[in-house]
Structure formats: C-alpha cells, structure tokens
A = this chain, B = another copy of it.
Amino acid sequence: MKFTANSKEFEKLLAKVIPAAPQRTPMQILENFLFTVEGGSLTVMATDLEISLSAAMDVGADEDASFAVPAKLLHDFVRTLGDASIEFSTTSDDRLRLKTDFGEYAIAYQPPDEFPKAPERENDGEIVLDGKRLRRAFEKTSFAISREAMRPAMTGELVELSDEGMRFVATDGLRLARYHDPNVTFDGARQLVIPEKAVVALQKLVGDGEAKMTFGETIVSFDLGDLTMTSRLIKHRYPDYNSVIPLANENEMTIKRSELSATVKRMSLFSSSSFQQVRLTIDKDNLKVSARDQDKGSNAEENITCAYNGDPMEIGFNSGYLADALSHFDADEATFKMHSPTKAAIIVPADPDAEGAEDLLMLLMPMRLNEDR
C-alpha cells in the first residue's frame, strides 16, 4: 500500500483525532491510531473506549489496508516536518515506512484486529445544532459537573431535548448550572447524559458551523464537518434537578457582577483554606462581603452597593463556588434570589429581557456560617 500526503494537511488530520487517544493506559493498543485505507481514502480513528474521534482524508492510495500505529510518535514526528511531502508505504515486515526528501523513517504497526471497536453509532433521532451555541451552552455549565464517581449520573452533563427547547444541566449536589436554548426544539422528550470527557472534547472540537447530533439509547455522535465524535452515554438516571430549584425565593438582591466577582476573589485569599467561606451581609442598599481565617489571623471585608428588597440577611457561600458562578455570566448585573441562609440561592442575569440576555441559572447551596465572630 502506498500514498503521498502533504505533512501540514496530514498533521491537521492527526491533530483532530489525537485528543481521544489516551497517553498512558494499561491497554497499550489504545495509544495508537487506527488507520483504515479504503477506496483511496484514509480514515484515522482514536478511542479511549469512552469516546472516539475519527476523520478522513482523500490520499489516492493504491490499495486498501488497515493497521494501528503509535499516535503520539506519529503526531510528534509530523509536527517537526514543516511543509514536506511524505510518501507512506507498508513493508512486508509490518512497518509503516515514511519517506521525505531528506530522510526515511519506519514505525512498527499492529494488526487492526488488536484495536478495540469504537462505540458504534446509534440512531433514534438526530438534531442539527449551531456549533457556536452548542459550545457556549457547555462552556456556561460544564464547570459544575461532579468529579465524584459516587453518583455516576452527575459525572456527566444532562442534555435535555423537548418542544420547549434544549436544556443543559450540570450539578455536583452543592451547585447547579442550567442553560436553556429555546431555539432548538425537539418533537418529544429525551434526556442524554454525556460524560464529562466528551463535553470537554466538544468544547475544543466544535467549530462555528453546524453540528449534527445523532443519538440512541447508549451512544451519541456528533458530526462536526470533517470530524466525527462518538461517545458512550452515561446510563444512570439523572437526578430530578427541577425539584431542587426553588421557585419562590422572594428576597432579591441585584448587584454589579464584575464588582462582586473581584471582591469574592479577594475574599477567597483571606478565607480559611478548610472552610473557604465568604459571608454576605445584605441590607437594603449595601452588601458587606467578609471572610476570615481564624488560624492564620487574617480577615477582610468590603462593601458594595446593591439593590435588595428583603429583610437584612446573613448568608455564607463557598468562595470558590461563588466566584465560579459569577465568572460564567456575561450579564453586567446579576440577581441573587434567596429565601433564607439555609436554603438554596439562585443567581440569574438581572434583566432577562436585555438584548442578548441568555437563559442561564446558577444554583448555590449556602454554607452554615462559622460561629467564630
């Protein structure tokens, strides 16, 4: 088998697929690309058994072939070549031979049947998405995905299809992020729980063009122009997130988001590393944000103007979670909707009707206030 390719184009092809190849795994074969040459075209595939990526390129090969080659070596090598023509061929001693104007290289390959099957496409339905908006929905929510394997469903992001639009939800039990895109409706109702690894990959790989999502019971695929990603779905049922979002949080505080964000970041320096608590002391038009670290003997407080409609309240949050939530809004002003210092608070853009406003909601469980002050 023989074909020729330009090193830069070949590098682009490999770069698309390599994110799925694990770098260190007990199952060494996964550190390879699967090359499939068929009808003059080369398809490169990589998988970690959870997700798989594949992309193809027309190379005008003279015959069909299939084999597995070390992904990192090949990718690193091609990147050093600059702009060169590479002649690929397979040898009788199971090597992939590469030839350029200045050198010759050989890499041992393994037979294709050693390479595990990638998750196979399923098709119960498909939906065409705007790439930019899909990326955005993941960016605004995926930070809240749980890293704890204890509750498997929460280690993925919920993508919920319905005739009301598409909802993206992530939660780790202490905080929740929900993004609603009303533009993409689906005839019926469907919940897909996409593993975090796939979500992270999609944030990098989805372009600005169309992304076609095809889903089944256990598999979801994304066709992204010249790249296809397939992922297993998490089979566990996602918790009923609607039941934890309070509907009647009557105490509303509106505040300049960037100002509070900067304050919370400063406070996190002064809060104890074990509690990481910031305290919000809210009055009619003033929010006092404070933190202390009893062990280190440090403390801090700042005052910010706010607009608040309730009785004075003191409520504590994890400073990292609060900073995270605020940093995922674009709106200039955010509204905190609270009921009491022990009930979930929600944060939304202050003006849902503003131009470009998005339907984004963050939920934060408060922390019990330290008594040492």
Q: A76-B269, A266-B80 are in contact. Are A103 and B303 (CB under 8 A)?
A: yes
A36-83 interface (Cβ within 8 A of B): 70, 73, 76-77, 80-81
Identify which of A12-20, A104-112, A331-339 touches chain B. Answer: A104-112
A104–B301 CA distance with the chains assembled, in angstroms:
5
Tell me whether B270 and A105 are in contact (CB under 8 A): yes
List, in ascending order, chain B residues with CB within 8 A of A108's CB.
Answer: 296-298
A282-322 interface (Cβ within 8 A of B): 296-304
List, in ascending order, chain B residues with CB within 8 A of A300's CB.
Answer: 103-106
Q: A114-130 CB contact bits vs B (8 Å, 1 = yes)?
A: 00000000000000000
Closest to A69 in B: B298
A74-108 interface (Cβ within 8 A of B): 76-77, 80-81, 94-95, 102-108
A192–B119 CA distance with the chains assembled, in angstroms:
63
List, in ascending order, chain B residues with CB within 8 A of A269's CB.
Answer: 73, 76-77, 80
This protein's copies in its complex? 2
Q: A108-B296, A108-B297 are in contact. Are A103 and B73 (CB under 8 A)?
A: no
A106–B293 CA distance with the chains assembled, in angstroms:
10
How many residues on A have C-beta within 8 angstroms of the other chain's C-beta atoms? 30
A147-165 interface (Cβ within 8 A of B): none
Q: A323-341 CB contact bits vs B (8 Å, 1 = yes)?
A: 0000000000000000000
Residue A265 interfacial (CB < 8 Å): yes
List, in ascending order, chain B residues with CB within 8 A of A298's CB.
Answer: 70, 73, 105-108
- The distance from the CB of A262 to the nearest CB of chain B, in whole angstroms, is 7
Q: A253-292 CB contact bits vs B (8 Å, 1 = yes)?
A: 0000000001101100110000000000000000000000
Closest to A73 in B: B269
Tell me whether A299 and B80 are in contact (CB under 8 A): no
Q: Which of A70, A76, A297 has the most CB of B within 10 A?
A: A297
List, in ascending order, chain B residues with CB within 8 A of A262's CB.
Answer: 80
List, in ascending order, chain B residues with CB within 8 A of A94's CB.
Answer: 297
- The distance from the CB of A285 to the nearest CB of chain B, in whole angstroms, is 15
List, in ascending order, chain B residues with CB within 8 A of A103's CB.
Answer: 263, 266, 300-303
Tell me whether B70 and A102 are in contact (CB under 8 A): no
Please pick, from B70, B105, B266, B296, the residue contacting A70 in the complex, using a CB distance under 8 A. Answer: B296
Q: A102-B303, A303-B102 are in contact. Are A77 and B107 (CB under 8 A)?
A: no
Please pick, from B73, B106, B297, the residue contacting A95 in the complex, using a CB distance under 8 A. Answer: B297
Other A-B contacts than A94-B297, A103-B303, A107-B297, 17 sampled, CB-CB below 8 A, are A70-B296, A70-B298, A73-B270, A73-B296, A76-B269, A77-B269, A77-B270, A80-B269, A81-B266, A102-B302, A103-B263, A105-B298, A105-B299, A106-B297, A106-B300, A107-B296, A108-B298
Ordered by A's residue number, 23 sampled pairs between the chains whose C-beta atoms are within 8 Å are A73-B296, A77-B266, A80-B262, A81-B266, A94-B297, A95-B297, A102-B263, A103-B266, A103-B300, A103-B301, A103-B302, A103-B303, A104-B301, A104-B302, A105-B270, A105-B299, A105-B300, A106-B299, A106-B300, A107-B296, A107-B297, A108-B297, A108-B298
